[in-house]
Structure 1
Amino acid sequence: MTGIRVREMVYDDCDRVAGIRVGGWRTAYRGLVPQSYLDALDIEEDAARRRARFSAHDSTVVNLIAEHDGKPVGWSCHGPYREGDTRTADAELYAIYVDPAHWGKGAGQALLRESLHRCTAAGYPRMLLWVLKDNTPARRFYERAGFRPDGAQEPFEVHGVQVPEVRYARKLTTV
């Protein structure tokens, strides 16, 4: 796909981001998390959470939108790495989702590239992220971008089911 443009998210994007996020969960996590959880995801509730978070104006969190032909098709969010309630010197990719109809067309790569660029420019030494252990396509996506598992694992519970996550890391260096 050509014509991908990455820009900062604005408040009016919250509804579309919620749709992208819920659609991404329902598609990418099918078979990995309980179907009852995926079925219960509600775009309106997610949009309300997006609007509340966006309105909180946390200047350390960066929300990006990937557009194709002026329409948002992807969203990513990054900021300081969270170790419990403490923020560390590293960056964290909190989320990246692309409308499933646009998978494999460059929007995810464009969002990740821009997040890496911004975190490098901000002086973060590394970017970390968490991914479901059994989410093989996502793990391949991050590995192609130079991320590697660093050995950290974390339990993640969804509707009473343990869904383990693994942490990936990539050093950030200026060129």
Structure 2
Amino acid sequence: MTVAPARVVLRPAADDDLDAIVGVFLACWGGSYAEVMPAGLVARMTPASARELWARTLAGPTEVVVAVAAEVLGVVGFRLEEDGGYVASLYVAPAAQGTGAGGALLAEAERRLAELGAHRATLWVFEANEPSRVFYERRGWRLTGEREVQEEWGEPQLRMAKELAAGHR
């Protein structure tokens, strides 16, 4: 268990965190994403589809860590893949953004991936989501030049990567 800034505790997600994780995720889609992403994309994420997505994530190979104070404030999902570490998702409730919870979650994912043997990690960020790109860049992530449009989302995403420092091991 790791303690993050502002007395936020990071811990592995449990099955009974599903509702709280879905709440954070939907708050981001309806709040933060609504400010920068096309309305059609935001509208496609329903409570039912969000619950299904996160139930699959919690059951699958992705490790999930939550940031908790009095309640779940954020969540990060990551896993080891053939070419290194992969950060599958990072969401922080809009009310908790700027508290350090997101940076602590990302640092925890980087540390754990390095412990698993990854020397490099990647992630995808929506091209239109400039605030998230800036967040990652401030933490040493760089655009790779790769761009994709997944059928599920229908919006361009940019790949970012970061070399994981030996200090994380």
Same fold, TM-score > 0.5, yes or no: yes
2:12 to 8, 24, 27: 8
Alpha-carbon separation, structure 2, partners of 1:145 and 1:15: 29
Name the aligned partner's letter for residue 114 of structure 1: E
1:112 is the counterpart of 2:106: yes
Contact 2:126–2:157 (8 Å) recurs in 1: yes
Match of 1:80 in 2: 80
Match of 1:85 in 2: none
Structure number having the greater helix percentage: 2
Matches within 5 A, 1:20-35: 20-30=24-34, 32-35=36-39
Match of 1:62 in 2: 63
Provide Cα deviations, 1:116-168, integer angstroms capped at 9, x if missing partner. Answer: 11011111010101111121110111011100001111124567xx5211111
Contact 2:79–2:88 (8 Å) recurs in 1: yes
Provide Cα deviations, 1:25-66, integer angstroms capped at 9, x if missing partner. Answer: 12222254432442343324422442344235x3xx210000
User: How far does residue 68 in structure 1 lie from its aligned partner after superposition?
Assistant: 1.5
Q: Count how many residue pairs are aligned between Structure 1 and Structure 2.
A: 163
1:38 is the counterpart of 2:46: no
Contact 2:80–2:116 (8 Å) recurs in 1: no
Name the aligned partner's letter for residue 64 of structure 1: V
Match of 2:21 in 1: 17
Alpha-carbon separation, structure 1, partners of 2:80 and 2:159: 15
Matches within 5 A, 1:90-109: 90-109=84-103
- Secondary structure of the equivalent of 2:6? coil
5+ residue gaps, structure 2, are none
Q: TM-score, length-normalised on structure 2? A: 0.86
5+ residue gaps, structure 1, are 82-87
Alpha-carbon separation, structure 2, partners of 1:52 and 1:164: 23
- Secondary structure of the equivalent of 1:123? coil
Contact 2:79–2:86 (8 Å) recurs in 1: yes
Match of 1:84 in 2: none
1:146 is the counterpart of 2:147: no
Change (3 A) 1:43 1:29: same
2:166 to 152, 171, 174: 174
Q: TM-score, length-normalised on structure 1? A: 0.84
Alpha-carbon separation, structure 1, partners of 2:10 and 2:32: 22
Name the aligned partner's letter for residue 21 of structure 1: F
